[in-house]
Amino acid sequence: MSSSFDDRVLALAGIAQALQQVRRIAETGHSDSAVVRTAMDSVMRIDAPSPAAVYGDSHQLEPGLRLLRDYFGNQGKDALLPRLALSVMQLERRFVRERATVDKVQAGIERAAAQARELGDPAHPEILGAMGGLYADTISQLKPRIMVQGNPHYLGQAGVVAEIRALLLAAVRSAVLWRQLGGSYWDFLFSRKAMLEAISRRLRGGG
């Protein structure tokens, strides 16, 4: 039996998956290209017919769903990841109230989507650069500003910084979707069992 949580956990998985890549890139300078591609696709699918379609399909979110299962089961391995997620959710609240910023982001995404169609790759370095620049010029100017910790060697490289910012944009997009689906902080306090059940259904291919 499905519930409203079945869709909400997809959006949360989108946040977790994007931010895990942020942490990975900041520490190692490398990312999982398939996960980054899913994240960039999710930003560009503004008018997707369902939450699953935002990410292509729910199978694309299995890494994020497994992450959620670990954290809801108190087995998360990276203490910084949930803090980063909370910062993104706080930033999303500020972002959606700034109409001019929302309009600027939407226009920038439309330009990047057109460019991605020409290049045939939503995770092309040029697209990541455009998305990262868009985030830096808009959402990054809002408070609370998200501070990413990692290896200074990699955080000093322009390409790494651009990819991190592009993934933060994707995380904010998923946070917007989560709110649109009725998600709230109360879910984490009072609905952990329902969330875990929804995550399990999605990982089994149900929902």
CA angle at 160 for the pair 115 and 17, rounded to the nearest 5°: 80
d(CA 201, CA 196): 9
- Give the pLDDT band of residue 46 (cuts 50, 70, 90): confident
Number of domains in the chain: 1
d(CA 159, CA 128): 8
Q: Which residue range forms the structural domain that includes residue 92?
A: 4-203
d(CA 12, CA 185): 12
For the chain, what percent of residues have pLDDT higher than 90?
82
Predicted pLDDT of residue 15:
97
d(CA 132, CA 155): 14
Eight-class DSSP state of 56: S
Whether the link from the prior residue into 82 is cis, omega within 30° of 0, is no
For the chain, what percent of residues have pLDDT higher than 70?
98
Residue at 96: amino acid letter? V
- State both tokens at 175: 């946070």
Predicted pLDDT of residue 73:
85
Give 122-138 pLDDT, tens digit per residue.
999 999 999 999 999 99
Predicted pLDDT of residue 1:
31
- Do 170 and 40 contact (CB within 8 A), yes or no? yes
- Whether 205 has a pLDDT exceeding 90, the answer reads no
Give the predicted TM-score (pTM) of the model: 0.95
**Residue length, the chain?**
207
How crowded is the C-beta side of 110, counted as CA atoms within 13 Å? 7
User: 68 in helix, strand or coil?
Assistant: helix
How crowded is the C-beta side of 14, counted as CA atoms within 13 Å? 33
Q: What is the CATH number of the domain that holds 177?
A: 1.10.3890.10
